[in-house]
Amino acid sequence: MTAACENRRILLIDDDRMQFRLTQQHFKTFRSATYELDWAATYEEGITKLLGGGHAACLLDYQLGPRDGLALIREALAQGCRVPIIFLTAESGENVDIAAMNAGALDYLVKGEMSPRMLERSLRYALKLGDTLEALRQLATRDQLTGLLNRREFERILGEEKERARRFGHSFALILADLDHFKRVNDQHGHPAGDEVLRQVARRMEANLRSVDRLTRIGGEEFAIVMPQADGTVAAEKARRLCEAIRGTPVPAGGDLKLPLTMSLGVAVFPQDTPNGEDLIAAVDRALYAAKSGGRNRAVLCAEL
C-alpha cells in the first residue's frame, strides 16, 4: 500500500485551539496522502499521547504554557519515543531552529509562514526520514539472521540494568544459553539448515520468556537473556523451562527436516552472585561451563557452584 492510500494519525501538541482548527483545514487540502489529526492541548496530555503510541508523526508547538516543546522532545526521547517530530513556532529566529534540531526534531516550521503545501511536504519528509532512521536503528541493534537484539545492544541493556539495580536496590538475572553440538548441524546438514535452526530456536525461546525479559543473540549459537527484577528462583525456573522447550520437540531445519536438539544454560544473579557488575558475565560463564561439562542439556546456577 502506498503512502497516498494510507490513513495515518498525526498528533498535534499545541495549547491554541485555533491552531488545531487551522491544521485541520490544511489537512483537508492535502493532495498525496490522507491523515487523521489528533490533538493534545497541554504538555502533560501531549507527552502521554506521544508515548502511548499510535501516531505516525507529531506536530509540536514551542510554547506550552510554563513548559516548552524542547523539554517535551527531550523527555520523550529519553523514554524511547521514536515518533518523528516536526517543531512549530511563531518565532523565525535561527536559534529556535537549531535548538529544535539539536533536541531531536526532524523538521521545523514557522506558523505564520506555513501553507498546506509546506505542511504536507514536511510531514512526508519527516515520515520518510523517520522510516529511514528506524531501519538504521534496526540494522545497528538487531541480529540479521534471527531478528533478535545483537551483542552491542546486549551490552547496552546489561549496563543499564546494572545501574537500575544499584539505584533501586533490586536484583536481576542473566542467563547464557548455548545449543549443544550445534556444529554437527552445520557439518551434517549444511549452513542453511543451521541458520533455520537458529531462527526457530530464537522464536521458541521468545515464546517462553516474560514480556520484560530481553533476549539477545551474542554470537554463533549462543544467546543471552537479561531478566529485570528476577531472583535466583525465578531465573532458575525460567532456564529449566527453556531447556525443556528446546529438547521437548525436534526443531524444524528447513523442508521436512526436523532435528532433536538440546541446550545448556548458565544462570547468575546480581548482586547475590557477585556484587561487582563487571564480574557478572564471568560468573554466568562459569555456570554455563559447568552445565556443558556436567553432561549438557541442563541449567546450572552460579550459586550452586
Q: Are strands 107-110 and 214-219 parallel, antiparallel or unpaired?
A: unpaired
DSSP code of 209? S
Please say if 221 is a catalytic residue. Answer: yes
Please enumerate in sequence order all residues whose Cβ is within 8 A of that of 33, keeping only pairs 6 or more positions apart, or say none.
3, 4, 6, 8, 120, 123, 124
Burial of 4 (0-12, 13-18, 19+ CB in 10 A): exposed
CB 73 within 8 A of CB 60: yes
List the catalytic residue out of 221, 244, 278, 304: 221
What lies within 8 Å, CB to CB, of 232 at 6+ separation is 173, 267, 269, 272, 273, 301, 303
Q: Strand, helix or coil at 107? A: strand
Q: Which amino acid is at 272?
A: Q
CA distance 148 to 217: 6
Return the active site residues: 221
